Amino acid sequence: MQGSVEHFDVIIVGAGLSGIGAAFHLKRDCPSKSYAILEGRDAIGGTWDLFRYPGIRSDSDMYTLGYNFKPWREAKAIADGPSIRKYVRDTAAENAIEQKIRFHTLVKRASWSSADALWTVEAEQGGSMVRYTCNFLFMCSGYYAYSGGYDPHWDGRETFKGRIVHPQFWPEDLDYRGKKVVVIGSGATAVTVVPEMAKDASHVTMLQRSPTYVVSRPAEDASANWLREKLPAMLAYQITRWRNVLFGMFFFNLARKRPERVKKQLIDMVKQELGPDYDVGTHFTPRYNPWDQRLCLVPDSDLFKAIKEGRASVVTDTIERFTETGIKLQSGQELEADIVVTATGLKLEMLGGMQVVVDGVQKNMALAMSYKGMMYSDVPNLASAFGYTNASWTLKCDLTCEYVCRLINHMQRHGYDQATPKSDPSVAELPWLDFSSGYVQRAKDVLPKQGVVKPWRLYQNYALDMLTLRMGRIEDGTLKFAKKPAAANTNRPEAIAAE
């Protein structure tokens, strides 16, 4: 552990879409506050830098996945990974955020001292441990483990003579031209990778245990592009953003109120895409209702085109075992493969896997209740950026950043050092995410809870959050404020001020 400890008013953990957005908001709304970004990897962009599989792209539109302060100017609304990475990097460069990032700094532990009203953050940096202190800790570390994805056990896996690849660690040298490929999975990654690989592979089979709702949308949004030609960029962006937000909310509410009707509409659309002879019932009719899990978006029907042209196919079955040459299914069918892609998903992880200690006691974050979807019961001066499940991630992150800046400014105005959502045992708990998806169910034991009433309730509703987070009272009776004991001012001789 190094000797001197650098101090910042705010430490942001993570230099992905959220972390760069958080830095922008801090700089704009709390210009007197010093901050640093601690990033475990060597690059800006998070998800959009890590994932390199063929065709990597967003599955929500960039008018809502983009920041509210920086218009998306590209023609494609469903954008490819490199364009999103560039958008995040440009934001960092344009706002002098790059120089605030400490790369290769993987945060392992944060401990809060109420006596000092300080977080001490411990991180691994180039093989040794470093320490920082800060008054407020803003976790922008995403929601899944960077160390590895979900990789289930299958019998016989070691006997397979071909190559097995997980999309989170795509090998640069993977040559799939002319090869038989099986992609295991039916989520966003599978529906992206299948049509893309099908352009060069001899054939790609999407092997799924059960189907997902798949919806096609144009990759380019003609009206958004028209508006951008006619109007100033920011105005055009805001109009399209609001149109998409409202449409998304309308569609989500309709799916919750009339699931049968929405289900029929979605399935009918797939039938139109694939024609009357295709078995849509088996391969594209999920057992759950729309929005019980995230819908999968495909741009310009690319998946359906690949299927219709015979370059790709879907098999709905369960794996019995791997063989030397492919995969044997419970139905008895065997799929031959040179390459198997395990698009089986992510491993959810909270707060970047960091250990949280409050006044000497280690917190089990799975027992904590989320406050306004960003802070945690009985954990002072810490917020995390977490997006919507039913809309684009950044919509919620922008609001979270605005709220955190309001909170920091409020504390400064009133001379408070500590803000803690005070737990209330009388509030009944609900799971944090009400998705039936496997990755959410698998992570039940690591996710915090939400409460049945506000401010503990997660509404997954942008318009409502906009009102409450932008305009709601900071002092709501649940968030408790305190000043540090006077003696604490001289209590940290080892801390040196940053900038």
Q: Which is nearer to ligand FAD, 71 or 149 (CB)?
A: 149
Determine contact, residues 365/356, Cβ cutoff 8 Å.
yes
> Is residue 39 a contact point for ligand FAD (CB under 6 A)?
yes
The span from the CA of 467 to the CA of 469, in Å, is 6
- Report in angstroms how near the CB of residue 132 gets to ligand FAD at its nearest: 12
Structure tokens at 295: 């819908």
> Is residue 112 a contact point for ligand FAD (CB under 6 A)?
no
Q: Which is nearer to ligand FAD, 326 or 387 (CB)?
A: 387
Residue written as token pair 């049509």: 195
Compute the radius of gyration of the chain from its Cα atoms: 24
Where in 328-347 is the site for ligand FAD (CB under 6 A)? none
- Report in angstroms how near the CB of residue 123 gets to ligand FAD at its nearest: 7
> Is residue 301 a contact point for ligand FAD (CB under 6 A)?
no
Where in 386-425 is the site for ligand FAD (CB under 6 A)? 387, 392-393
Q: Which of 119, 138, 146, 371 binds ligand FAD (CB under 6 A)?
A: 146
Structure tokens at 264: 């029929």
Burial of 284 (0-12, 13-18, 19+ CB in 10 A): buried
Number of residues engaging ligand FAD in binding (CB under 6 A): 33
The span from the CA of 381 to the CA of 10, in Å, is 10
> Is residue 19 a contact point for ligand FAD (CB under 6 A)?
yes
Where in 63-82 is the site for ligand FAD (CB under 6 A)? 65
Q: Which of 36, 140, 298, 319 binds ligand FAD (CB under 6 A)?
A: 140
Structure tokens at 454: 């506000």
- Report in angstroms how near the CB of residue 144 gets to ligand FAD at its nearest: 7
Q: Which is nearer to ligand FAD, 327 or 385 (CB)?
A: 385
Say whether 47 sits in a helix, a strand or coil: helix
Q: What is the DSSP string of 468-481?
A: HHHHS-S--SSEEE
For Cα atoms 396, 397, 399, give the angle at the middle one, nearest 5 degrees: 65
The amino acid that residue 291 corresponds to is: W
Q: Which of 46, 55, 71, 455 binds ligand FAD (CB under 6 A)?
A: 46
Whole-angstrom distance between the N-terminal and C-terminal Cα of the chain? 22
The span from the CA of 194 to the CA of 312, in Å, is 7
> Is residue 106 a contact point for ligand FAD (CB under 6 A)?
yes
> Is residue 385 a contact point for ligand FAD (CB under 6 A)?
yes
Determine contact, residues 17/397, Cβ cutoff 8 Å.
yes
Q: Which is nearer to ligand FAD, 65 or 298 (CB)?
A: 65
- Report in angstroms how near the CB of residue 101 gets to ligand FAD at its nearest: 10
The span from the CA of 379 to the CA of 369, in Å, is 10
Nearest Cα residue to 445 out of 361, 350, 373: 350
> Is residue 208 a contact point for ligand FAD (CB under 6 A)?
no
Q: Which is nearer to ligand FAD, 6 or 417 (CB)?
A: 6
Q: Where along the sequence are the contacts to ligand FAD (CB under 6 A)?
A: 13-19, 38-41, 46-47, 51, 58-60, 65, 106-107, 140-142, 146, 188-189, 352-354, 385, 387, 392-393
